[in-house]
Chains A and B, each alone.
Chain A
Amino acid sequence: MKHIIIGNSAAGIGCVEGIRRLHPDDEIYLLSDEKYHTYSRPLISYLLEGKTDLERMKYRSDDFYEKNKVTFMPGERVVKINPATKKITTESGTRLSYDDLLCATGSSPFIPTTPGYESVQNAFTFSSLDDALALQEALTEESRVLIIGAGLIGLKCAEGIRDLCRKITVVDLANRVLSSILDEQTAPIIQKKLEENGIRFLPEDCVASYKNGEAHMKSGKVIPFDILVTCVGVRPNTELLKTAGAKTGKGIQIDDHSRTSLPNIYAAGDCTECLDISSGQQKVLALLPNAYKQGETAGINMAGGDHSFKDSIPMNAIGFFGLHMITAGTYEGSVLDKSENGNIKKLFYQDDLLKGFIMIGDVDKAGIYTALIREQIPLSSIDFDLIAQTPGLMAFSKKYRDETLGGVRYGY
């Protein structure tokens, strides 16, 4: 069998590893429009911050392609997929046929149409290594940086370049930072942390126009800047498959086997949309763990296996200046607030299930809550009071512990 993978990030790599779990010898072609060895995109802010470097941020070891017998084709942008002939064409004119194909084309930063944007000298986005390197190149100790968007990317970018510039201002339309994952009660804690570290936040505002190195805000404020980074969001790269005839919504639509609507074509990662089981809605869950698992699922199925991934939920682990937070699921239903001693813990539950949580500060063992959401464990089957206080296996049944810790097999 011959497999083609488009995309060299988590989903693509997951796909390689998925295929190799079943078939050590199937042919694999991996094409990337970037020229780099696979690297971790979320690490670009850490790169600027100096917490990692180009070597260490490689997502897999140098011998990854060789070890996995992957024909790696860097710098090859695929421009066409023909599902009827099972062939692809690249920008350079290379044509390849496939038996199965994974489309893991990721997402691209969205840049709102703003008057004067084209005239901005140092305008950047922040989602690829090239973006980061370019930004780094442009930064000086005197730079005043304006970041549009106080989401995960914008804030991580702010943290990453904090020591590389003089001034950072972050603007967002919302009334708080991280509005997609924090509520009004918890967002100010992060905002405070950012401000303590010299990052200015401008809520409920947006740029009306750029003129002469200044951003003229809708509110009337004028913010002079040297460098602009636009981080208002990303859009799934669906064009390639959409053109080929696949069903797409916000992202490429896939099932729990990572199959698209086209035969022998799979998709995974940020370019897709899938079911968030915590909310029951189709969503673009542009998260690395999600991408990997979708890619791996695709890989196993491409190799002839039968694997499904049906428990996607939104989840985020992120930290700023040593203050960590972990959130997962959706914030629906009743709230149990177990915050104490400056640590935030809000649990959202409904219909005997944990739906979501927000933890800031002490995030120890947060994965146990994640598991409650992901595995949809009925809260009545565990000691919810205890687990709400202290995440631990103590709150589960002895049988559960015997199975997970003791390796005991019941029912055999």
Chain B
Amino acid sequence: MKRVYVNEKWCLACHLCEYYCAFANSGEKSMVKALKNLKINPRIHIEEKNGISFAVSCRHCEEPLCVKGCISGALSQKDGVILIDQNKCVGCYTCVLSCPYGAISPTETGVMQKCELCTTNASGTPACVKGCPNGAIVFEERGTV
């Protein structure tokens, strides 16, 4: 399946992926309306230090520890994409405990959010990929992880 891959060689730490992610998942049509005067809470995060930077978001593991560990059944794997049903999530943080990449984080309401490859919003191609100016985040089919 197509996955989001990150090539840190080309990451500029511009953080645009985070903003495009937050926007895509806001449900708003205007980025200004969606994000102005907000501290954004995106599903992708840049780690940066000493000139190295890269974006981290859900890897959509084939053996997803988060899904297997989810106590409520809110996390599931559909066609390889790991989805979260926020209606079922009770915010127990077992997924945070399980994810080896730190790719799941809480929303403001306490339930969890994670990258769903923009399959549940209007973006189409993942917004972080579309928004990356330097091809550091790509959406490709490369076999298994």
Are A and B direct contacts in the complex by CB distance below 8 Å?
yes
If the complex has contacts A51-B90, A319-B91, are A398 and B69 also in contact, measured as CB distance less than 8 A? no
Q: Judging by beta carbons under 8 Å apart, are B91 and A58 in contact?
A: no
If the complex has contacts A40-B72, A394-B49, are A319 and B93 also in contact, measured as CB distance less than 8 A? yes
Q: Judging by beta carbons under 8 Å apart, are A59 and B96 in contact?
A: no
Which of A319, A371, A393 sits near B54, CB closer than 8 Å? A393
If the complex has contacts A57-B72, A328-B97, A393-B47, are A367 and B6 also in contact, measured as CB distance less than 8 A? no
Q: Judging by beta carbons under 8 Å apart, are B96 and A363 in contact?
A: yes
Q: Judging by beta carbons under 8 Å apart, are A367 and B96 in contact?
A: yes
Q: Judging by beta carbons under 8 Å apart, are B88 and A52 in contact?
A: yes
**Which residues of B are found within 8 Å of A60, using beta-carbon distances?**
73
Range class of the A interface residue count: 35 or more
**Which residues of A are found within 8 Å of B47, using beta-carbon distances?**
392-394
Which of A316, A317, A367, A386 sits near B100, CB closer than 8 Å? A367
Q: Judging by beta carbons under 8 Å apart, are B90 and A46 in contact?
A: yes
Within the complex, the shortest CB–CB distance from A325 to chain B, in Å, comes to 8
**Which residues of B are found within 8 Å of A342, using beta-carbon distances?**
none
A192 interface residue (CB < 8 Å to B): no
Q: Judging by beta carbons under 8 Å apart, are B92 and A368 in contact?
A: no
Within the complex, the shortest CB–CB distance from B92 to chain A, in Å, comes to 6
**Which residues of A are found within 8 Å of B73, using beta-carbon distances?**
40, 58-60
B131 interface residue (CB < 8 Å to A): no
B59 interface residue (CB < 8 Å to A): yes
Within the complex, the shortest CB–CB distance from A305 to chain B, in Å, comes to 13
Q: Judging by beta carbons under 8 Å apart, are A296 and B102 in contact?
A: no
Which of B88, B101, B102, B140 sits near A364, CB closer than 8 Å? B102
Q: Judging by beta carbons under 8 Å apart, are B8 and A407 in contact?
A: no
Q: Mark A288-325, 1 if CB is under 8 A from B, else 0.
A: 11001100100000000000000000011111001010
**Which parts of A169-219 form the interface with B (CB within 8 Å)?**
none
Cα-based distance from A58 to B73 in the complex (angstroms): 7
Which of A56, A58, A289 sits near B98, CB closer than 8 Å? A289
If the complex has contacts A43-B72, A43-B90, A368-B102, are A405 and B54 also in contact, measured as CB distance less than 8 A? yes
B105 interface residue (CB < 8 Å to A): yes
Q: Interface centre among B49, B95, B98, B145, by most A CB within 10 Å?
A: B98
Q: Judging by beta carbons under 8 Å apart, are B98 and A14 in contact?
A: no
Cα-based distance from A391 to B49 in the complex (angstroms): 13
Cα-based distance from A316 to B71 in the complex (angstroms): 11
By beta carbon, the residue of chain B nearest A39 is B73
Q: Which residues of A pack against B, CB within 8 Å?
A: 10, 14, 40, 42-43, 46, 51-52, 56-60, 288-289, 292-293, 296, 315-319, 322, 324, 326, 328, 363-368, 370-371, 374-375, 386, 391-394, 398, 401-402, 404-407
- A43-B90, A371-B100 known; 7 new pairs, CB 8 Å cut-off, are A42-B92, A43-B72, A51-B90, A52-B72, A57-B88, A317-B94, A319-B91
Q: Which residues of B pack against A, CB within 8 Å?
A: 3, 5-8, 47-49, 52, 54-56, 59, 65, 68-69, 71-73, 87-88, 90-102, 104-105, 110, 140, 142, 145
Lowest 10 A-B CB distances belong to which pairs? Answer: A365-B102, A289-B69, A371-B100, A367-B99, A317-B93, A317-B97, A405-B6, A407-B5, A59-B73, A317-B94
